[in-house]
């Protein structure tokens, strides 16, 4: 059995209880060493074999899983955040399907949710944005033709950009063509890690501020008026509004 585990954004306390139990009982652990906090592996059992997938290709990862399975060992495949977001997760599951190896997935706290938490913000403010776009800039992985940043930006929705902080200059230049230039933006480096950094600005100055802070990777860029202070109060907690669970009072 292979267990894919979302290790969360960094702070080892943000690993799920189920994920922790599986990691601590696993015989073989394959973790994404470039981003998973090694403290997540602090209580692995004695004799557990640990592989860092940063230096392995897909064939090598699958081979380790296959050998472990043949020996009746339990494998924990530990991904950063949640494996469903830029996790290169599907290709592993498909190979396991072909091999007839069973697997399960334990979700994790994605870095985009940890980012909202450390910013103390809500992505979906009434009257501001009710849509969240998770995307990236084109790098070595090309963007599908209908998902160019400029096209996505037309909605002026809350936008969260992964894997792209090294291209912030170009990113803000594109975003300024669709959002107001003074739309607030923030960059969160290593959310929930001890060396976390937050840089605030808007689309005219965020790139320069992030450069000055020396941030080049492991950061998310978030853009939108959800970072501002104007919004409508929710209907959910509006005292004059009747919901399924609560009767509204007359004003
Ligand atoms: N599966 C992961 C994302 C993997 S892609 C998740 O759910 O979070 C790797 C990118 O995620 C990084 O380049 C960075 O943009 C972002 N990232 C991962 N961990 C982060 C953290 N703790 N703080 C900020 N960004 C992070």
Question: For ligand 1, is residue 219 a contact (CB within 6 Å)?
Answer: yes
Mean pLDDT (the chain) is: 96
Residue 222: pLDDT over 90: yes
Q: What is the pLDDT of residues 80-122, one digit of tens each?
A: 999 999 999 999 999 999 999 999 999 999 999 999 999 999 9
Q: What is the pLDDT of residues 198-211, one digit of tens each?
A: 999 999 999 999 99
66/86 Cα distance (integer angstroms): 23
Question: For ligand 1, is residue 190 a contact (CB within 6 Å)?
Answer: yes
Question: For ligand 1, is residue 188 a contact (CB within 6 Å)?
Answer: yes
Q: What is the pLDDT of residues 1-27, one digit of tens each?
A: 999 999 999 999 999 999 999 999 999
CATH superfamily to which 2-106 belongs:
Tetrapyrrole methylase, N-terminal domain (3.40.1010.10)
pLDDT of residue 93: 98
In terms of Cβ atoms closer than 10 Å to its own Cβ (0-12, 13-18, 19+), residue 193 is middle
Tell the residue nearest (CA) to atom 9 of ligand 1. Answer: 163
C-alpha 220 to ligand 1 mean position (Å): 7
148/212 Cα distance (integer angstroms): 28
Q: What is the pLDDT of residues 22-63, one digit of tens each?
A: 999 999 999 998 899 999 999 999 999 999 999 999 999 999
Q: Name the percent of the chain lying above pLDDT 90.
A: 88
C-alpha 31 to ligand 1 mean position (Å): 14
C-alpha 8 to ligand 1 mean position (Å): 9
Among the atoms of ligand 1, which is closest to the Cα of residue 162?
A: 15
Global pTM value: 0.94
> What order do you get walking across the sheet with 132-136 strand by strand?
132-136, 158-162, 219-223, 184-189, 197-202
Pocket test for ligand 1, best of 37, 80, 114 (most atoms within 8 A of CB): 80
Question: For ligand 1, is residue 221 a contact (CB within 6 Å)?
Answer: no
Residues 184/119, Cβ–Cβ less than 8 Å? no
Domain 111-227, CATH among 1.10.10.10, 3.40.50.2020, 3.30.950.10, 3.60.20.30: 3.30.950.10
Where do the structural domains in the chain lie, given as residue ranges?
A: 2-106, 111-227
Residue 166: pLDDT over 80: yes
C-alpha 170 to ligand 1 mean position (Å): 20
Nearest to 108 by CA among 32, 9, 220: 9
Question: For ligand 1, is residue 86 a contact (CB within 6 Å)?
Answer: yes
Size (the chain), residues: 251
Q: Which one has a higher pLDDT value, 186 or 141?
A: 186
C-alpha 200 to ligand 1 mean position (Å): 18
Angle between helix 58-70 and 90-99 (nearest 10) = 40
Nearest to 215 by CA among 234, 230, 228, 200: 200
Tell the residue nearest (CA) to atom 24 of ligand 1. Answer: 219
Measured in whole angstroms, the distance separating CA 131 from the mean position of its chain's CA atoms is 17
């Amino acid at each position: 059995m292979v267990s894919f585990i979302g290790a969360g954004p960094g702070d080892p306390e943000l690993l799920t209880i189920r994920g922790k139990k599986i990691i601590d009982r696993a015989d073989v652990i394959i973790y994404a060493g470039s981003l998973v906090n090694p403290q997540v592996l602090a209580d692995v059992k004695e004799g557990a074999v640990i592989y860092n997938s940063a230096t392995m290709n897909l064939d090598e990862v699958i081979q380790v899983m296959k050998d472990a399975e043949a020996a009746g060992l339990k494998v924990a495949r530990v991904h950063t955040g949640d494996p469903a977001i830029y996790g290169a997760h599907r290709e592993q599951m498909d190979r396991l399907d072909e091999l007839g190896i069973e697997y399960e997935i334990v979700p994790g706290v994605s870095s985009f949710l940890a980012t909202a938490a450390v910013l103390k913000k809500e992505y979906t403010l009434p009257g501001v944005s009710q849509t969240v776009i998770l995307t990236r800039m084109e790098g070595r992985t090309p963007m599908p033709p209908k998902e160019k940043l400029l096209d996505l930006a037309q909605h002026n929705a809350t936008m969260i950009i992964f894997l792209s902080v090294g291209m912030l200059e170009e990113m803000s230049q594109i975003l300024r063509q669709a959002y107001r230039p003074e739309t607030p933006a923030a960059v969160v480096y290593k959310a929930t890690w001890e060396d976390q950094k937050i840089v605030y600005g808007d689309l005219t100055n965020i790139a320069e501020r992030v450069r000055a802070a020396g941030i080049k990777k492991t950061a998310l860029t978030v853009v939108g008026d959800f970072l501002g202070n104007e919004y409508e109060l929710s209907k959910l907690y509006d005292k004059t509004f009747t919901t399924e669970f609560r009767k509204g009072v007359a004003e």
